[in-house]
Homo-oligomer: A and B are copies of this chain.
Amino acid sequence: MAGKKYLFTPGPTPVPPQVLAAQAAPIVHHRSPDFRPIYESCLTRLREVCRTERDVLLYTASGTGAFESAVANLVSPGEPHLVVSAGNFGERWATMTAGYGADVDHLRYEWGETPDPEDVRARLGEREAKAVWIVHSETSTGVVSDIQAIAAVAKEAGALTVVDAVSSLGAVRCETDAWGLDVVVSGSQKALMTPPGLGLCAVSEAALAATGTSPRFYFDWERTRKAQAKLDAAFTPSVSLVAGLDVALGLLLEEGLEAVLDRHIRLGRACRAGAKAMGLELFSPDEDRSAVVTAIRAPEGVSSDDVVKGLRDRFGMTIANGQGSLKGTIFRLGHIGWFDVFDITAQLGAVELLLTDLGADIERGVAVTAALEAYEHAPVADTGTA
């Protein structure tokens, strides 16, 4: 259909019409009574979604910017830090912390592997670290780490835990306070169903007390914390995006955080069930934690470049290719945020048609039903992460 388009990437993600409408409201001044109630509501709802009593610091920046706030505030040159990576984003944080002069112990897994808390324990036993840096959902591979276990190991060793929850917050359980996560970073454009442009950072008292000497101004935690405590902003915030985020968080909390997490688990199950029914091989693990994005190997003889391009040209669907060396090898179907099961079946139906035309040896006519069944008939017994 001419012009009908579908955004199925794991960020930016589709934004509900109510949130888009909020973007189009006239601009208000960030220090006026027109904005303060929106700001207060947004900050309160963020705490609820982050499952924390702490302040959640809000930055006009991408998720990478908010993550850099953690690096700029916590890393002083020469300090030992342990960075765990198993994909593109983990490797970015290793580069960033090293760029700030950290003495980085890099626990590097192959892309697609799942970090093992016991490996973290062993590394921390060999060398102490001020903080352990871990990606919750590695968007490049679809792997979701067991951050609860890793944070527990870090705590035992006296290290802070810094979590990249950019693509997971609001999709996969992240109990900031209960699990003792010192820093949780996320962004507006993933499961929080808002356009890109806002980053956030929930920071524990211990982390605030551990700030170091690296130069920083825009990303200085204390400057933003002090301003937010007065319902002010240290710098002109993106008032439109804050208004949109407030609406989006309202939708999320109206559905209920537990229901939202449950929906994401079932969306992941549906996507994997459909792909497997078609005869495709999963790249991301086939487990309930894989609730953000499903990475699938392109079948024998097909490049994922052609899958991405074909979906786009024929059906107006934007999905994600593999990143780095996985480009051409895997494709990634997103399912965070404003998704229901019919967004999954649309992707599966289109993939089925396209792969058939590309000559792949796949099973036809079963994926959509398998997805619908997995979504409806697999009640989530435990809404935990495992």
Contact = CB atoms under 8 A, between A and B. Distances in A.
A23 B24 contact: yes
Interface in A190-216: 195-197, 214-216
Interface residues of A, number: 55
A21 B238 CA distance: 16
Interface stretch (A44-52, A62-70, A170-178): A62-70
A20 B23 CA distance: 7
B239 A68 contact: no
Interface stretch (A10-18, A123-131, A341-349, A353-361): A10-18
Given A197-B240, A318-B29, A60 B61 contact: yes
Given A24-B23, A60-B65, A196-B239, A215 B15 contact: no
Nearest to A102: B215
Nearest to A30: B12
Given A32-B318, A197-B240, A20 B25 contact: yes
Interface stretch (A93-101, A279-287, A293-301, A373-381): A93-101
Given A29-B318, A32-B312, A61-B60, A68 B197 contact: no
A88 interface: no
Contacts of A195: 27, 238-241
A7 interface: yes
A28 B12 CA distance: 7
A65 B99 CA distance: 19
A238 B235 contact: no
13 contacts: A9-B29, A12-B29, A12-B239, A13-B27, A30-B196, A64-B218, A65-B65, A65-B235, A96-B217, A195-B238, A195-B239, A214-B215, A218-B219
Interface of A: 5, 7, 9, 11-15, 20-21, 23-30, 32-34, 60-65, 68, 71-72, 95-96, 99-101, 187, 189, 195-197, 214-219, 235-241, 312, 318
